[in-house]
Every structure is written in structure tokens, then in C-alpha cells.
Chain A
């Protein structure tokens, strides 16, 4: 079984607590129940979308925004550095400029 934990009822991602293979069914536990079909293989500890997220929309974990997606993300897709941009503290923005 592939399990994913949801940490807050408003979250749109689950964190895998098993290794997930492509096409595998991920059973949700924690603050939300249900299942999502994994679009790709996912290592332990990585996040899967449990709701569709429009380009620019927030990634929500712990009920809080942990970044914004840089492309449309469908349910079951991997949510990670390849499609998420950090909304970092002011200090970091200043450094970029």
C-alpha cells in the first residue's frame, strides 16, 4: 500500500510515507481521507497534489502556503522544486536584486 499523510484539512498536497510507483493508488490518511492515482513514481517524503492547482496558485501544507506552482498541476502529480516557486522572506528577495 502507498500511503500519503495530509496534515491539515485545507491542504492541497499529501506527503508520501511509502515509496510510490507510477500509476499506483495512494491512500490518504491524517486530516483527509480518500485516494489519488500517482502520475509518476514518487520517493518517500515527497508530495503529491490531492487537488488541482492552477498555475500561480498556492501549494498548501500545514494549512499554510509553502510556495506557488509555476504550471497547472493535476491531481496525482508530483509537487516539488520543478513546479513550485518559494515565496521567501524579504531578506532573500533583496539578495536576488
Chain B
């Protein structure tokens, strides 16, 4: 098996071939959007804040923008900034991938009108150059796929997440990379996942992230662990925190944990990775896209519709009602696990075929409907 993708000069593989137009800070977003409105083949990667951020917070913003720019789904990137220094911070992080990088510096160009016109000209050239690329057969070992869940319900742990997990195992067995995120989901049952670590170093790194996250929450005066599972979980049939966490973790399959990543960090080896991210989907998926995920498998129970801008997002549901009512936003229905007694292996394998299709160019609902958003995590206040 293989998929049809775009081979990049740094050895990575794109499953899309867009020209990314990226804002360095929030005040550039209108120019970014205007360029994308005018030029086919481009996608807008907007952001909030950055101006006035400092220290670790600013570094993570730059690293995340840089990571999204390096994502192999982008053939080229136009970095739209207000002034030269911050624009170069972002552009410099993308250039090392070897892809074409252009900058639009609004202050140097004199106005948003001239900046938009110059951006359109550059984007048009890059979009035409991108169209000369051809898809070729590439091995699954070049795939990095994020696994997410949101709007979870009973069916998530019984059908949606286990089917995603089946695909995760198959991708890892073929030499690819899977990244699971959302630190808070592991709280209270972190030892179960830590037991899958390949060595003591990885185990400690994982446990440090989970406990650090808990300590951060405690500092805010919030007890996110609390009584878990909560009463409505218990009413729903969840007995212990281990059971609840396993239902979420099963989307990462069953293979060993080989690496632990900070927000937006890319894996450097094959296998299953954990990325420390907040739980909300847009923020978490932004970190995954910056970490190099060309695609995200997203299991939903009651219906969560959002996708990532750079990393096509496959919405999977095991809830037959959601498959019906959210038909516009569901990419793959695994409700037959519950409704027709199909096995997770069977539907997971069909989901795998679908994933290879999307990797080869089949479009997802969030791409077609524009249900895509970017949000970079904040780790400090703005001054």
C-alpha cells in the first residue's frame, strides 16, 4: 500500500499542495484574508495577538507559526507582517524546510492596499508554480497523523475512538507517526499510559507534562481532577477514572509510546508520540499541525464540527444519530460497530482505506465547507 502525495525537497510528503498565506500577528489578518480571497490555491493562516507577547509565550507563537509554515501540506508560504523583525522571526523558521518563502511587510510597502496587491502578485506566481507539482506514490512511513476527540459521548469510547486507534496501530506498524494530545485527558490515569513508554526517560517526560499541567491548574485555584468520573459519567455507566481515560486513550491504539513533545514540536522518530496541549480542539489541532501532522483523525460523539486549516481533519463518529443529523460535517460513520455488530477491526480497516484516500487527495467536509480555524495556545499575559 501507499498513498499519492507530494514529495518535498526536505524528504517530507504533503497530502495537499497549498500556498499558505500566514499572518505574523493579529493586525495583519485583514491583508492575509484579502490576498487569499483574490488568489486561488491559497489558504489563510491567521493568528491572534503576538504583538505584546514576550518570553516563552512569544517564542511558542513564533515556533507554532513556523511549524505550520514548514508543514509539508504547504508548497510555499507568504509571511505577512507589520514590520521586518517579527516577520523575519517567522519567515526564518520556515526557510530551513527548503520551500519557497516570500514576505510582505506592510510598513515597508506603505499601505494595506499596496501590501495586498504585492501579496496577490507573489501568491499568484507561487500558486501557478505549485500546480506544476504532481502526486506520486509514497510510503505510509511518511505520514504523521494526529488523533483527537471532541464532543465525546458513550459511543466515543465504544466505537469512534477504537476505530481511530485501529488505524493508528496500522500506520505505526508501517513506520509512520501518530501524535495524541490533550494533556488533561490523562489526568488521574496517567500511569496507565505511562506504562506504554519505551523507556524510563519517555515515561518520566510524559508524567512530568501531565503533573505539570495539573500543577498549573492548581495555581489558578482550579481542581481539574476533582471527582472524576463525574456523576453523569457514572450514570452513563463509566465506573472508574481508568475506564474513562482508556476510552479516550484508545484512539492512540495500542503501540508503545516512543516520544513526548511540547506544544507545536515535531517528532524526530517513527512511532506513537504524546504532545502536551490544552484540551480545546482548535488550540490542540493547531499544535498538531505545527508539529508536522499532515492529517488529523477526529472522533466525535455528539458532534464537533471544526477542522484544522493546514492539516485536513477527518470527522469520525460512532453515534448513529450524529451520523444522520451531522451528515454535512461527518466524514466517516463507524456506527455499525454498535448498530450492526460489525467489529472494530473491520470498520477500523475501512477507515484506514478512507484515510489513505484523503492522503491521496480526497477532500474532507471541513475543507469543503471552510470549517477550519487556527488558535495558538497562550502561556502568559500580553503587555
Which residues does A use to contact B, with CB under 8 Å? 3, 5, 7, 15-17, 29-31, 43-47, 59, 61-67, 79-81, 84, 86-92
Contacts and interface: CB of A to CB of B under 8 A. Distances in A.
Nearest to B233: A45
A47 B239 contact: yes
Interface string B230-264: 00001111111111001100100010000000000
Most buried by B among A65, A66, A86, A91: A66
B225 A66 contact: no
19 contacts: A5-B337, A7-B162, A17-B158, A30-B343, A30-B344, A43-B237, A44-B237, A47-B237, A47-B239, A59-B239, A64-B246, A66-B242, A79-B239, A86-B239, A87-B240, A87-B242, A88-B241, A89-B188, A91-B214
B214 A61 contact: no
B338 A17 contact: yes
Contacts of B337: 5, 30
Interface residues of B, number: 31
Contact of A7 (B158, B214, B234, B242): B158
Contacts of B239: 47, 59, 66-67, 79-81, 84, 86
Contacts of B162: 7, 62
Contacts of A17: 158, 338
The majority secondary structure among interface residues of chain A is mixed
Interface in B310-362: 337-338, 341, 343-344
A96 to B, nearest CB: 13
Nearest to B247: A62
Contacts of B236: 45
A5 B188 contact: no
A89 B189 contact: yes
A79 B246 CA distance: 17
Interface in B155-182: 158, 162
Given A62-B162, A66-B240, 5 more contacts: A66-B242, A86-B240, A86-B241, A89-B189, A91-B214
A92 B188 contact: yes
Contact of A45 (B211, B237, B250): B237
